[in-house]
Amino acid sequence: MDIAEELKHAMQHLPFITGELPGVGGAIKVSPDHFEVEEILPYAPCGEGEHVFITLRRKLWNTDEVAGELRRCFGLKSIDIGWGGRKDKHALTTQTFSLLLPLSVTIAEIRSRLAGLPFEILDVARHRNKIKTGHVAGNRFRILLSQVPPQRLAQARAICDALGRSGLPNFFGEQRFGIDMNNIERAVQFLDRQRAARGKKEAFIVSVLQSALFNLWLRERMARGEYRTILSGDVVQKTDTGGLFIVRDVDEAAERFSRGAIVYTGPIYGVKMMCAEALAAEYENRTLDAVGLDLDAFKRLKSPGTRRRALLHIEDLTIECAPGGLLFSFSLPSGAYATMVMREFMRAP
């Protein structure tokens, strides 16, 4: 089995953390209106500057398509438009874009031009800086899980309680890997070319490979029964400040982990990634070995890498009966996938 096929197989067989409980079935995204996502920026526009923040609501448009419409509307170059992250096309999405527009263009003029676009414009305001990739604090979701009878509400809440105790494995969702996971094949083909990534599209393809490897690493950790265990050499993150450090006193770190003060992180392999040590490093290297890779591959790609927290505690998850199914409401930090929350309830393959 080649690298691409091995990674695709692993992505199709990710474990459930609440697998001992019965799922509720159902279907998501029967309609885009059933999957609402609202982007949360880490700051509000200050009201002055050459970048215009446009907050809009749309459905059946992906992020690139919306950016293209905005670019054509104002005659801009691609580099003049910014956004924090990509959003699902088959959803009712609220998202903010930044446009580089001279101060001579008034807000009234901007609103007038936007009126011709097929989006609901919610806010237009100026700011000093462009929105760059990653400038998102999180996302709020309202998801209708259709085709679920109301008597399964108790089952859903039992899963919710279990997630509250265990946390959610922070896997990358299947949409990261494209239709039939073809993005994984593209990523491996790009790796074989042995050249650095240039531009947003190539950087995204590299990130697909990194995401699959993270999932593979976390899958293997769960298979070893170490999902709720701190290891010697783990790179952990403080949940209050986000600071990273390496575990050398396992007992002390385990106590902090048990009360939610820290969480262990997994590798987004790259040249600037903070590396684990001791036993944790052995497992991270073993993940690369399993697919015939090493860190030198990411040096050739000039991919910086980073760390990703391995589990999430969702503090505001609520479930209630609604016409047509069960309504889920919750927030997630940037980079986490609502579909990975919902699969714990649905148990769909």
Across-strand partners of 53?
98, 125
Q: What is the mean pLDDT of the chain?
A: 94
240 an active-site residue?
A: no
Q: Is 323 exposed, middle or buried (0-12, 13-18, 19+ CB in 10 A)?
A: exposed
Determine the pLDDT at residue 189. Answer: 86
Measure the CA–CA gap between 295 and 323, rounded to whole angstroms: 51
Residues in the chain, how many? 349
Instruction: Supply the pLDDT for residue 349.
Output: 53
Q: Give the pLDDT of residue 198.
A: 72
Domain boundaries, the chain: 43-135, 173-309
Q: Could you please report the per-residue DSSP string of 33-88? A: GGEEEEEE-SS---S-SSEEEEEEEEES--HHHHHHHHHHHHT--GGGEEES----
Tell me whether domains 43-135 and 173-309 share a fold. yes
DSSP-assigned letter for residue 27: B
Q: What is the pLDDT of residue 1?
A: 55
> Mean pLDDT in each 10-residue stretch from start to end of the chain (349 residues)?
85 94 94 96 95 97 96 95 91 98 96 96 97 93 96 97 96 91 88 73 87 97 97 97 96 97 97 95 95 86 93 96 96 95 87
- What pLDDT, on the 0 to 100 scale, is given for residue 348? 65
CB 264 within 8 A of CB 235: yes
Which residue(s) pair with 86 in the sheet?
Answer: none
pLDDT for 178 equals 87
pTM above 0.85, yes or no: yes
Position 331: which residue type?
S
Kindly report the CATH number that applies to the domain delimited by 43-135.
3.30.2350.20
CATH domain 173-309 topology: Pseudouridine synthase (3.30.2350)
Q: Select which of 64, 88, 180, 289 is catalytic.
A: 88
Closest to 172 measured CA to CA, from 275, 110, 86:
86
Both ends of the chain: CA-CA distance in Å? Answer: 22
- The predicted-structure confidence for 172-194, as pLDDT tens digits, reads as follows 999 899 888 899 988 888 877 77
Token digits for 56? Answer: 């809009």
In the numeric block, which tokens belong to residue 9?
């197989």
- For residue 293, the one-letter residue type is L
